[in-house]
Structure 1
Amino acid sequence: MGNVDEGPRHAERSVRAGWPGMRGKRVVVTGGSRGLGEGIVRLLLAEGARVATCARGKAGLAALDASLPGEERARLLTEDLDVTEPGRLEDFVTTAAKRFGTLDGVVACVGGSRGGGFEQADAADWAATWDLNVGHTVRLVRAALPYLRAAGGGSVVLISSISGWKPGRSAQYGAAKSAQIHLAASLARELGPDNIRVNAVSPGSMLIPGRRWDRLRREDPGAYDRFVGAELPGGRPVTPHEVARAVVFLLSDWASGVSGAHLPVDRAQNAPSPDGY
């Protein structure tokens, strides 16, 4: 019987026995000034990575920069831009790659929805939601490809949502997030020969100060408790830091065998919202 390890071998990166972390890795993260994006940026910097992040609004980026220790601040590049504006995202990726030498990873974290329910959302709302989620993701990955190839490969993480695989309002948002999950699986096959891994992460409801679930908890604690009791068997929503740890794992060499995966980080949440299915 032949040895199962016999046959052609691909070049492999050396991974030491302990947690390899992200020290020295060069990563672009979109939407890094608040919420999950900020959590990913902070964790990457704490792990020793060099990070470039963009977001709309100088104030949030300035606050992030000012809150960091000096050594981490020196490894952070920020730019105020709208990822849907033609050319701006591509230019930012090029700037980051030139500053860092090349790129080892990208995280498509910008997302959102425009319009209300199905009958209220018009064609422009659908197009804008698609462009913000799927369009920006495609442009980010395309812009980063030459640099990931130059580095000998890398990791791409697409931030989808529980709404991308568990139906709920709004349909335009769920459809866009579902497309990101499919995109990750498809690109993993297409880019695999270049040693580029692509995975999707779907956060559940996240408890972020000032955002939807935090506001509900403060303004209508009864409704919040009913939602948690009915839909969250873990007894609480996930935190951005919990999701960020999964993202950083997928960016790291410890996840070298993981590509084309869809990783929910939702504490076994059922419906995406109190509306249920």
Structure 2
Amino acid sequence: MNDPHSTPAHFGLTGQRIIVTGGSRGLGEQIVRRLVAEGCQVATCARGQERLDQLAAQLPEHALFTRTLDVTAAPLLHEFVAEVAGHFGGLDGVVACAGGARGGMLDSATPQDWTTTWELNVGHTAQLIAAAAPHLRAAGGGSAVIVSSVSGWKPGPQAQYGAAKAAQIHLATSLARELGADGIRVNAVSPGSMLIPGKRWDRMRTEEPEEFAAFTREFPAGQLVDPAEVAAVVAFLLSGAASGISGANIPVDRAQNAPTPDGY
């Protein structure tokens, strides 16, 4: 099998100006690394400056523009987009990668858990694209990629997360129609369960090997998704090679069945 981490840059993205939210760790970090390897000018934001500084130090000098930011603070997110566009002299694409969930099951999740989960996923995505749209129009068009999840259409706990991810998929299809006349493409990518160092499935692999082995049976090939595989699809959708794709939801899940070991 090909190593996704060794895939050469080949999507013709050199010089493209791209914003990635939530790019300091996990999938977001892999997307940033892939786009830098493609020759893009990349900007990212996250809540922790230390992780941003560590990532920037591992990349070529001046390859990454960073800011500490809570993406649910819409005015600050708009300011960040405007700052990046000014710094780069425009924008060619955005990737809404920041996301997550708050709260537990229905009987324990609070109204604030639902609101926070919605704002972190759907709210921030809508505001990112709204802030970027004028700059993309000025550049003659561009691409927005929304990182959703297989949980957006394959039921599993928690409901507030799945509902928000389903809304992101609808957002991609709706905004693709709304912004298409301006040459702006909008697509969603839905990763399956990814094996990320230190995260849930990686911890399960070492702490609960029997449960992890059972979970791998949700994948026909017995292997979870590598974040670098998702990053490659994001790069493709940002590129001219995907010029005919808009309003789509692209699963990158290795044909995964249930999205969690507690799937229904």
Q: Shorter-chain TM-score: what band? A: over 0.9
| Aligned-partner Cα distance in 2 for 1:75–1:147 | 21
Aligned residues: 256
Matched, 1:138 2:126: yes
1:10 paired residue number = none
Structure 2: segments with no counterpart, 5+ residues: 1-8
SS in 2 for 1:29: strand
Check conservation: 1:89, 1:139, Cα contact below 8 A: yes
Deviations 1:68-97 (A, max 9, x none): 123xxx231000111112411111100000
What corresponds to 1:44 in structure 2? 35
TM-superposed deviation, 1:20 = 4.1
Structure 2 equivalent of residue 183 of structure 1? 171
Q: Is the 8 A contact 2:28 2:97 kept in 1?
A: yes
Q: Does 1:232 align with 2:223?
A: no
Q: Return the alpha-carbon distance in structure 1 between the equivalents of residues 162 and 188 of structure 2.
A: 14
Q: Match of 2:80, as an amino acid?
A: F
Aligned alpha-carbon RMSD (Å): 1.0
**CA–CA separation in structure 1 for the residues paired with 2:14 and 2:23:** 19
Partner SS, residue 203 of structure 2:
helix
What does 1:186-205 align with in structure 2 at a 5 Å threshold? 186-205=174-193
Task: Please name the residue that 2:4 is paired with.
Answer: none
**1:1-277 equivalences in 2 (<5 Å):** 19-70=10-61, 74-229=62-217, 231-277=218-264
Provide TM-score, normalisation by structure 1: 0.91
> Distance in 2 between the 1:237 and 1:86 partners?
34
Cα deviations by residue, 1:93-115 (Å, 9 ceiling, x for unpaired)? 00000011110000000000000
The one-letter code sitting in structure 1 at the alignment partner of 2:240 is D
Matching residue of 2:6: none
4+ runs of 1 displaced by more than 6 Å? none
Residue type of the partner of 2:205?
A: R
Say whether the 8 Å CA contact 2:46–2:52 is kept in structure 1.
yes
Deviation per CA, 1:150-193: give whole Å up to 9, x if none. Answer: 00000000000011010100000000000000000001011110
Matched residue type, 1:112: G
Q: Aligned with 1:264: secondary structure?
A: strand
Deviation sequence 1:105-129 (CA, Å, 0-9, x none): 0000000000000111011110110
CA distance in 2, matches of 1:122, 1:40: 32
Amino acid at match of 1:50: Q
Letter in 2 for 1:23: T
For structure 1, the 5+ residue unaligned runs are: 1-17
Q: CA separation in 2, counterparts of 1:139 and 1:113?
A: 18
Whole-angstrom CA distance in 2 between matches of 1:88 and 1:237: 35
Other structure's SS at 2:250 match: strand
Deviation at 1:199, TM superposition (A): 0.2
Structure having the higher Rg: 1
Structure 1 letter corresponding to 2:112: A
TM-score, with structure 2 as normaliser: 0.95
